[in-house]
């Protein structure tokens, strides 16, 4: 071959190779194709909902306008039952040198020994038998309060049932670090020693090393020590601390009587030279099991109790705004009681009023206060100014009409925040309904006469805001309402419930509804029976009589079965694996479908999906497979599947992306008519259960959205009713949905980019030509762990821009940012 021919061949190879490389690049370029002229199905407007539950005090401390926490004085007193210790719940009794505990799982006892970083801690536990769960030490503790998870610190506990040692981290929540196999002998005392050195935590049991963990960047550096049982009993002895070379015995000894015994969410209040006694009274309580007695015995000044709201964070007062209150008290002799709004330390009084109480039985007095100063950390006090005593049964403080939504017992700013978020449907349910004490008949009538109960998430729960307060709110906010009830309600109670909700005023319970201020029917359409139930034969036997009674009373009610989550796709309805409820068959669901068909009714099923992110878990795919499996069970049965909890353990951008993917999956599929995300609300910093997943955060004076809440807002603000087929080529990181208006003049493209890098994309809009040269773009982007805080509530928030798209023949280019949710609206 000549040099000329060789050069020509090389040029050909170079040109051909360059073309081939260009072709590969072009082939791999990401492309989104939308078939806008071929709408597939209608998209439900109820996929942008939220689940409201009293977990993390969404209600009692959240949306409920009651500003006081512990209003009926039911919390046990936070006193020192032992010398040099403080109890947070529970009954702690000394037998010799041993300590015995009885109470709620998660109650704790903290030593007054000063906080330290490095050292050793030891104690002995008596493990009765193999049924015992977690009994342990807590170390490096701080910020303690009432509630199972209300502290920061490490927990090291023994579990005889599972034969393991557990290490966990609390930061006002619970995080499992490690479970280690460990021989836990029963019927004897067991010694546990914990060594703390910087980020290292070591634990030994009866002298045998069991655990060695380095907590790295998550290390909690300093704090106190205590004991805690996540069960209702426990026994302890030989508690000690060693810091440096000196060992200190933390002896269990009775405390001297201080005369201060105050219900847990209230504080003693004294001014001047006043002296007296505070006592919790168990006899003849106004509500629940106890009331609070205050006695001024001598001196000049004031003596009483003060309340600073949930976790003593302070009451958010606004200057010049009125605050309405109610006080129930019992006076042995005629006296005057002062109610005041004050600074956190009580040195400044913003508003005050004296209330005259006559001698005799319980009396109810109303009052109104108008503070002369704004203060986000204020307190409310009840006090005596002269010698005497008073028994306190209930106290209410709430904003006047201007601070409440539509005159309801609802914080106006929270309600408006939910409306601004774009909520279309609200579910009132979750695990709170599973507690035996959750009964609808305890939630009606004057809220200052409703009995408190032991709740799922808080042992001193208030019935001040319940199912029908929820329905009032949804009616005023124009939300579709879905309440849930306990499966232990009787058929007659549910007939009465339906009459109260939808019956005429001529019925007994419809008449009561009118008496309590709501003469019109609520027009309730959906009602859920239970939550995260094991749907088996036992459930069916409960469901059947309830359903038949409800359907007979109101044929228009659609009942929702409170099913659970499924971790694996279902290919055979009678060979199910991965059900969180541990069922292995959908045979009970089949019976429910047949029952509904026999009665000519429609029944729905509620499944839950996990969206910790940035992608949903396998529960999403399993949910769609559940729908397919159910379609084959009973021919002609009318049913739907809804997702009333999108759940996670975080409220960050990673969860926002997963929520967006889950909702877009439902939009593409078309068979899921309702989706609500948990949790609707979360008081800032409040997390005592692991589900740190609030969409709308709040404190005493402001509300703000977290990234997953903005996903709801963006989708709702850009809702269109028709699904348009969308295909993605060249990327597995983009999740896409296209929606079209009825008249075909508006097209919305929703894109989640799950990649850590931007994705340049070719857009191909088939069957649609934008009439405008610009498109409206909303984009939510940020680091995966990005969240919003009170001091910077817009750190991760949608940007809004106008994009000059320069499209030609429906084709254009757009680059989707990393870890983003984008909405492009063409007209």
Instruction: Say what angle helices 467-477 and 412-421 make with each other, to 10 degrees.
Output: 60
The predicted-structure confidence for 69-106, as pLDDT tens digits, reads as follows: 999 999 988 665 688 888 887 778 888 888 888 877 88
Q: How far apart are CA 503 and CA 489, in angstroms?
A: 19
| Mean pLDDT, rounded, for 760-771 | 95
CA distance 566 to 736: 25
Q: Classify burial at 21, counting beta carbons within 10 Å of its beta carbon; exposed 0-12, middle 13-18, buried 19 or more.
A: exposed
Residue 396's pLDDT band (cuts 50, 70, 90)? very high
Per-position b or e across 38-67, b if 16+ CB within 10 A of its CB: ebeeebbbbbbbbbbbbbbbbbbbbbbbbb
Fold of 49-65+404-717: TIM Barrel (3.20.20)
Which pLDDT band, with edges at 50, 70 and 90, does 224 fall under? very high
CA 734 – CA 158 distance, rounded (Å): 46
Of 235 and 472, the structure prediction assigns the larger pLDDT to 472
Half-sphere exposure of 207 (CA within 13 A, CB side): 0
What are the φ/ψ torsions at residue 681 (nearest 5 degrees)? -130, 165
State residue 764's pLDDT score: 96
CA 450 remoteness from chain centre? 24
Residue 679: is the preceding peptide bond cis (ω within 30°)? yes
Encode pLDDT of 774-805 as tens digits: 999 999 999 999 999 999 999 999 999 999 99
Q: Is the dihedral of CA 102, 108, 114, 117 positive or negative?
A: positive
The separation between the first and the last C-alpha atoms of the chain, rounded to the nearest angstrom, is 62
Query: What kind and span of H or E run contains 704?
Result: strand 703-705
Report the CATH architecture of 267-403.
Sandwich (2.60)
CATH code 3.30.70.1450 for 30-40+720-826: no
- The dotted CATH code for 85-249 is 2.60.120.560
* Domain 30-40+720-826 and domain 267-403 have a common topology: no
pLDDT at 299: 93
Domain edges within the chain: 30-40+720-826, 49-65+404-717, 85-249, 267-403
Question: Would the pLDDT of 36 be above 90?
Answer: yes
Does residue 18 register a pLDDT over 70?
no
CA distance 493 to 488: 10
Whether 62 shows a pLDDT value over 90: the answer reads yes
Q: At residue 12, does pLDDT exceed 70?
A: no
* Contact (CB, 8 A) for 44 and 722: no
pLDDT in tens, 100-131: 888 778 889 999 999 999 999 999 999 888 88
Kindly report whether the global pTM for this prediction surpasses the value 0.75.
yes
Look at residue 349 in the predicted model and tell me its pLDDT: 97
């Amino acid at each position: 071959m000549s040099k000329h021919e060789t050069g020509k061949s090389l040029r050909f190879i170079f040109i051909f190779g360059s073309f081939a490389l260009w072709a590969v690049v072009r082939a791999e370029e990401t492309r989104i194709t939308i078939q806008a002229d071929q709408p597939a199905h209608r998209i439900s407007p109820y996929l942008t909902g939220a689940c409201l539950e009293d977990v993390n005090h969404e209600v009692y401390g959240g949306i409920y306008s009651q500003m006081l926490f512990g209003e009926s004085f039911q919390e046990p007193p936070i006193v020192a039952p032992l010398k040099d210790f403080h109890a947070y719940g529970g009954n702690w009794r000394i037998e010799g040198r041993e300590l015995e505990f009885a109470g709620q799982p998660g109650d704790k006892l903290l030593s007054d020994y000063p906080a330290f970083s490095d050292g050793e801690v030891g104690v002995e536990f008596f493990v009765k038998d193999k049924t015992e769960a977690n009994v342990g030490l807590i170390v490096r503790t701080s910020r303690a309060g009432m509630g199972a998870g209300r502290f920061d610190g490490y927990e090291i506990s023994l579990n005889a049932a599972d034969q393991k040692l557990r290490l966990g981290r609390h930061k006002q929540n619970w995080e499992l670090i490690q479970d280690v196999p460990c021989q836990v002998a029963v019927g004897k005392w067991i010694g546990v020693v914990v060594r703390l050195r910087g980020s290292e935590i070591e634990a030994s049991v009866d002298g045998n090393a069991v655990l060695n963990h380095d907590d790295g960047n998550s290390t909690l550096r300093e704090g106190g020590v205590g004991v805690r049982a996540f069960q209702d009993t426990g026994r302890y002895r030989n508690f000690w601390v060693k810091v440096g070379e000196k060992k200190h015995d933390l002896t269990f000894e009775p405390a001297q009587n201080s005369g201060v015994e105050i219900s847990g969410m209230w504080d003693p209040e004294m001014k001047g030279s006043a002296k007296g006694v505070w006592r919790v009274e168990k006899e003849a309580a106004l509500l629940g099991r106890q009331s609070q007695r205050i006695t001024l015995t001598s001196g000049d000044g004031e003596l009483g109790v003060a309340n600073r709201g949930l976790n003593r964070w302070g009451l958010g007062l606004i200057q010049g705004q009125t605050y309405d209150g109610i006080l129930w008290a019992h006076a042995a002799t005629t006296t005057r009681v002062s109610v005041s709004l004050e600074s956190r330390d009580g040195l400044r009084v913003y508003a005050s009023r004296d209330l005259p109480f006559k001698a005799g039985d319980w009396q109810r007095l109303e009052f109104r206060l108008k503070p002369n100063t704004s203060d986000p950390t204020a307190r409310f006090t009840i006090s005596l100014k002269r010698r005497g005593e008073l028994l306190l049964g209930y106290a209410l403080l709430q904003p006047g009409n201007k601070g409440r939504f539509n005159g309801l017992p609802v914080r106006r700013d929270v309600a408006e925040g939910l409306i601004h978020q774009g909520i279309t449907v609200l579910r009132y349910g979750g695990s709170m309904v599973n507690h035996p004490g959750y009964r609808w008949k305890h939630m009606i009538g004057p809220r200052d006469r409703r009995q408190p109960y032991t709740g799922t998430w808080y042992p001193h729960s208030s019935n001040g805001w319940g199912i029908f307060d929820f329905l009032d709110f949804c009616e005023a906010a124009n939300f579709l309402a879905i309440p849930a009830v306990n499966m232990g309600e009787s058929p007659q109670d549910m007939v009465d419930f339906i009459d109260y909700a939808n019956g005429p005023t001529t019925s007994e319970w419809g008449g009561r509804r009118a008496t309590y201020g709501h003469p019109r029917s609520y027009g309730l359409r959906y009602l859920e029976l239970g939550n995260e139930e094991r749907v088996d034969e036992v459930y069916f036997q409960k469901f059947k009589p309830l359903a038949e009674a409800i359907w007979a009373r109101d044929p228009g009610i659609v009942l929702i079965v409170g099913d659970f989550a499924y971790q694996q796709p279902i290919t055979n309805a009678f060979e199910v694996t991965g059900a969180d409820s541990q069922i292995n068959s959908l045979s009970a669901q089949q019976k429910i479908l047949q029952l509904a068909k026999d009665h000519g009714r429609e029944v729905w099923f509620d499944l839950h999906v996990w969206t910790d992110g940035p992608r949903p878990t396998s529960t999403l795919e399993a949910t769609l497979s559940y729908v397919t499996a159910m379609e084959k069970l009973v021919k002609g049965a009318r049913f739907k599947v809804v997702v009333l909890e999108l759940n996670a353990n975080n409220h960050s951008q990673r969860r926002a992306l997963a929520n967006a993917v889950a909702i877009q999956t439902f939009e593409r599929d078309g068979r899921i008519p309702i989706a609500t995300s948990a949790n609707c609300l979360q008081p800032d910093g409040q997390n005592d259960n692991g589900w740190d997943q609030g969409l709308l955060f709040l404190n005493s004076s402001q509300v703000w959205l977290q990234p997953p809440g903005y996903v709801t807002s963006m989708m709702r603000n850009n809702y269109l009713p028709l699904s348009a087929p969308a295909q993605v080529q060249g990327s597995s990181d983009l999740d896409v949905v296209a929606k079209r208006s009825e008249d075909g003049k508006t097209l919305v493209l929703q894109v989640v980019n799950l990649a850590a890098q931007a994705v340049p994309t070719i857009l191909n809009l088939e069957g649609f030509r934008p009439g405008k040269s610009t498109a409206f773009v909303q984009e939510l982007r940020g680091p995966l762990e990005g969240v919003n805080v009170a001091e910077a509530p817009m750190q991760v928030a949608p940007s809004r821009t106008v994009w000059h798209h320069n499209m030609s023949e429906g084709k254009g280019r757009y680059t989707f940012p990393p870890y983003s949710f984008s909405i492009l609206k063409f007209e």
